[in-house]
Amino acid sequence: MKTNCKLALLAALAFTTFSCSSDSDKAGSETGGVDTGKTKYIITATTGATGIADYLLTTDDVATGSITTTGNGLEQDGTYRYYITAQNNFFSLLYGQGNPGAVTTYNLTTEGKLVKKSNFQAETVHVFAAVNKDILTIKVPRSGASIASMYKIDAEKSLITGEVQQDTKKLAGNGERAFYTWATQVGDKVYMPYMSIKGDGVDNFGTSNPDSTWVAVYNYPELKLEKVIKDNRTSYLGAYFTNGLFQDENGDAYGFSGAIATSNAVLTSTKPSAIVKIKKGTTDFDKTYFFNVQEKSGGYKISATNYISKGKFLLLMYGNAGKNNGVPKLAIADVYNQTFTWVTNAPATLTSVTSRYNITTEDGNSAIVGINTPEGNWIYSINGTTAVATRGMKVEGGQITAIAKLKY
């Protein structure tokens, strides 16, 4: 899980992926169960011990109190776990370092107890996203063979139901290869932003095309390539293991670029870190829209993004060493009004933040995130309108790696 891009590596190490279930997800249990209208939070935390994976902790409320990994929670098998929820099931994917890894499914009983539902082997993947009632996963090669494999997993049955392949060299069409950063359902299609990489085994993630943006558009469920959307006002969207494209309530899609493309581990992007837009019903970038976040932030770059609601996004921003000390900071971007606001009341020193695919509060106004610091680890609520962080539950005995929520 290494890249030659230092900023991308920081992002990959700092954030573990997870997501929340949608309102349309149906509650599950050992026996099928009924939806009681109740919910539980799932907090994953790692002790950092060699060979020990995250603990899964459950709680009714994350606004107050404390919780610990000591004598509590479910310990998972294997390290490097990544998370996603779909159809009210919580999926834990083992990153197998190139080898097949376990996909473990959990859900809640009608009493609210977290239980293991199933466990099966699947290829180690670099992209995983909820699409309709499936989880779409993609294994993307960085060297050697150029064929990417896309797998459809039935999120209700926890079964692989299909596979489609894509030649990434053919997709890139520029002598390099396409490396998908993520996949996002936009309407009835799947949009897959990608970066162009050399993939030569020496400078795998380097590129000779640092100042271009690409989004491959596929139909679903066939996963047939329909078009590649291109632009050259910023660099690629997202990053390794990092989503950079989100659809809002209006059906428009917004893309986030950190402008961190490299060649031989040297930053070569000359374009600014920025946000671009694809209007609903179109397959082209909106040339009238360009949100220069790097300029409005005073030189910081987008590292990770989480959608709150109503055009408000939580951003993790990285600075440049020597210019703004390289200190990571949280901010709120309003993509409708193109405003940028630093988050206040958050810890000054962030060890890591679970700012990818977080859950929002019931009213949709705030993001719920885990913030790890040298002084301790807490769950915070960050308001998308005021940009104020409010400290909640303390997590002891391990650093927070993910937060999710299920119905029961």
pLDDT digits (tens, 9 = 90+) for 193-225: 999 999 988 899 999 999 999 999 999 999 999
Rounded CA-CA distance 368/212 in Å is 33
Q: Is 407 exposed, middle or buried (0-12, 13-18, 19+ CB in 10 A)?
A: buried
The domain total for the chain is 1
* pLDDT at residue 120 in the model: 86
The answer to whether position 1 is within a domain reads: no
pLDDT digits (tens, 9 = 90+) for 334-351: 999 999 999 999 999 999
Query: In terms of residue numbers, what domain contains 79?
Result: 6-407
The answer to whether position 97 is within a domain reads: yes
Rounded CA-CA distance 101/126 in Å is 12
Q: Using 50, 70 and 90 to split pLDDT, how confident is the model at 52?
A: low
The answer to whether position 343 is within a domain reads: yes
**Residue 20 pLDDT more than 60?**
no
- Bridge partners of 302, per DSSP, are 317
Asked whether the beta carbons of 178 and 194 are under 8 A apart, the reply is: yes
Instruction: Give the DSSP per-residue string, 177-235.
Output: EEEE---EEETTEEEEEEEEE--SSSSTTB-S-TT-EEEEEEETTT--EEEEEEE-SS-
Phi and psi at residue 7, in whole multiples of 5°?
Answer: -65, -40
What's 17's DSSP letter? Answer: -
The answer to whether position 297 is within a domain reads: yes
Q: Using 50, 70 and 90 to split pLDDT, how confident is the model at 321?
A: low
Q: Is 254 exposed, middle or buried (0-12, 13-18, 19+ CB in 10 A)?
A: buried
The answer to whether position 260 is within a domain reads: yes
* pTM metric for this prediction: 0.90
pLDDT digits (tens, 9 = 90+) for 266-276: 999 999 999 99
CATH number of the domain encompassing residue 232: 2.130.10.10
303-338 as b/e, with b when 16 or more CB fall inside 10 Å?
A: bbbbbbbebbbbbbbbbeeeeeeeebbbbbbbbeee
Instruction: Give the DSSP per-residue string, 307-344.
Output: EEETTEEEEEEE--TTTSTT--EEEEEETTTTEEEE-B
What's 349's DSSP letter? Answer: S
The answer to whether position 43 is within a domain reads: yes
Q: Which has the higher per-residue pLDDT, 47 or 22? A: 47
**Amino acid, single-letter form, for residue 375:** E
User: What is the pLDDT averaged over residues 165-189?
Assistant: 97
Q: Report the chain's mean pLDDT, rounded to a whole number.
A: 88
Asked whether the beta carbons of 53 and 77 are under 8 A apart, the reply is: yes
Phi and psi at residue 171, in whole multiples of 5°?
Answer: -65, -45
- Bridge partners of 79, per DSSP, are none
Residue with tokens 């990434």: 168
* pLDDT at residue 362 in the model: 80
Q: Is 134 exposed, middle or buried (0-12, 13-18, 19+ CB in 10 A)?
A: buried
Phi and psi at residue 168, in whole multiples of 5°?
Answer: -75, -25
Instruction: Give the DSSP per-residue string, 94-163.
Output: E--TTS-EEEEEEEE-TT--EEEEEEEEE---SEEEEETTEEEEEE--SSS--EEEEEEEETTTTEEEEE
Residues shown for the chain: 408
Nearest to 305 by CA among 294, 295, 315: 315
